[in-house]
Amino acid sequence: MLEATHRIPGLVLRDHSFELPLDYARPGRTLSVYAREVIAPGKENANQPYLVYFQGGPGSGAPRPTSNSGWLGRALQDYRVLLLDQRGTGRSTPVTTQALVGLGDAQAQADYLMHFRADNIVRDAEAIRQQIIGQNPWSILGQSYGGFCAMHYLSAAPEGLKEVLITGGIPSLFRPADDVYRATYRRVVAKNRLYYQRYPGDVARVRQIVDHLLQHDVRLPGGAQLTAQRFLQLGLQFGMSDGFEAVHYLLEEAFVAGGDGRGALQWNFLFHLEHLQTFDTNPIYSLLHEACYTQGAASQWSAQRLLAEFAEFALEGSDPVLFTGEMIYPWMFDTYAQLQPLKAAAELLAATDAWPALYDVARLQHNTVPVAAAVYSDDMYVHREFSEETAALVPNVKLWVTNEYEHNGLRADGAAVLGRLLAMVRGEV
């Protein structure tokens, strides 16, 4: 349903909302799914095809456009863009701590969250497509986890797709979560080495901060304790093009000046660190991250279990101290304020093996939809070899393997990245 139309310089924005089933197998209970249509001025009545954008995450809403620039500006030359707030995110019926607690006990929360993976995100997209353009196919662009959604789309409803573009997001079709996290730890170790090569002075600085946190009860501005493990989650930034610098500049001003400079951590440092860690504002990410990889099996806190295989991450007795990366740990549900009420639900989700398959490999092996994908060779989040493994199994997938960008290539240089993918999918390169 079209709700409203807005104009900002360079863009026409149309708000749409759709009432869709929570559980497509048992229609009844519904939720709202929001999508923002973006059109170049003067093309409101043009018969442009749709390009649907699937955001990374899981649990992140679509970008909020402010200008006709970047990848969006390039896309609007050829398409009208539909920025989808995946179910549970943004203006779609949101999954927040307050909302989940309101559902009842931990089992009720876990049962609800089982409906928020890629399979139902794609079911929503198909329902929206049929409402907007009927049986005509549309094009999609998936960034990171959005690429996982795109691959499921190819598996479940290829008739709805004209072409598929993926950036940093080709998943393994069959590898269990343990394979994924074992490979992820190896990449995080490598990123740490590169970080300390660039900033060797931070070896001592990080050790000082970790030792301080191990010996003192340090509170963040929001009141939560800053543990050494939470501090080391700053390594999540290492997968971005400016991630090393973001961490280094933060650490430069960690301690209060004066005296020996080691007496206390600065409030500004604590403030900025807290705002870099968004787990409190996106519970889906923490609750369902490992479930992105599980098919007919329980994750059983894969990242936590596999950490024991990597002695390099020990907090004491090792230099340099290594940052962690894109991993979810059970202790986070004791440390992050908005995750604490969801601890029991998280345990249930980690223990369940009731996750359906996400990919129909046999169907994907007969794919006829053109696919162009950017695979970042040094991607810390999505394993290059697994992406190439999948691409080798699925016909009509063209890969652009590049070390020009980190995981955020679409944000860092979106017009160039999207332009290259469009040329690939059209057979121009």
User: Which of 354, 419, 406 has the alpha carbon at shortest distance from 110?
Assistant: 354
Residue matched to tokens 């018969």: 47
Whole-prediction pTM: 0.96
Is 212 annotated as catalytic?
no
Q: Which helix (H) or strand (E) holds 108?
A: helix 106-113
Question: Same domain for 18 and 79?
Answer: yes
Co-location of 276 and 419 in the same domain: no
Q: What is the CATH number of the domain that holds 392?
A: 3.40.50.1820
Q: Kindly state whether residues 144 and 287 are assigned to the same domain.
A: no
Same domain? For 276 and 233 the reply is yes
Clarify whether residues 339 and 420 are in a common domain.
no
Active site residue 286: no
Which segments of 233-282 does DSSP mark as H helices, in order? 243-252, 267-276
Which residue, of 351, 377, 412, is where some domain finishes?
Answer: 351
Within this chain, do residues 215 and 331 fall inside the same structural domain, yes or no?
A: yes
Question: Can you tell me whether residue 237 is helix, strand or coil?
Answer: helix
> Which of 302, 330, 351 is the C-terminal boundary of a domain?
351
Same domain, yes or no: 81 and 181: no
297 and 376, same structural domain?
no
Residues 91 and 194 in one domain: no
- Are 126 and 222 members of one domain? no
State which of 308, 333, 351 marks the end of a domain: 351
**Residue from 144, 155, 286, 299 carrying the catalytic annotation:** 144
What is the span of the domain harbouring residue 204?
Answer: 177-351
Which of 212, 289, 383, 407 is an active site residue? 407
Are residue 338 and residue 398 in the same domain, yes or no?
no
- Which residues face 196 on adjacent strands? none
User: Do residue 187 and residue 330 come from a single domain?
Assistant: yes
Q: Which residues pair with 12 in a beta bridge?
A: 7, 39
Catalytic residue among 202, 379, 383, 387: 379
Q: Is 353 a catalytic residue?
A: no
Cα distance from N-terminal residue to C-terminal residue, the chain: 39
Count how many domains the chain has. Answer: 2
pLDDT in single tens digits along all 429 residues of the chain: 777 999 999 999 999 999 999 999 998 999 999 999 999 999 988 899 999 999 999 999 999 999 999 999 999 999 999 999 999 999 999 999 999 999 999 999 999 999 999 999 999 999 999 999 999 999 999 999 999 999 999 999 999 999 999 999 999 999 999 999 999 999 999 999 999 999 999 999 999 999 999 999 999 999 999 999 999 999 999 999 999 999 999 999 999 765 444 568 999 999 999 999 999 999 999 999 999 999 999 999 999 999 999 999 999 877 899 999 999 999 999 999 999 999 999 999 999 999 999 999 999 999 999 999 999 999 999 999 999 999 999 999 999 999 999 999 999 999 999 999 999 999 998
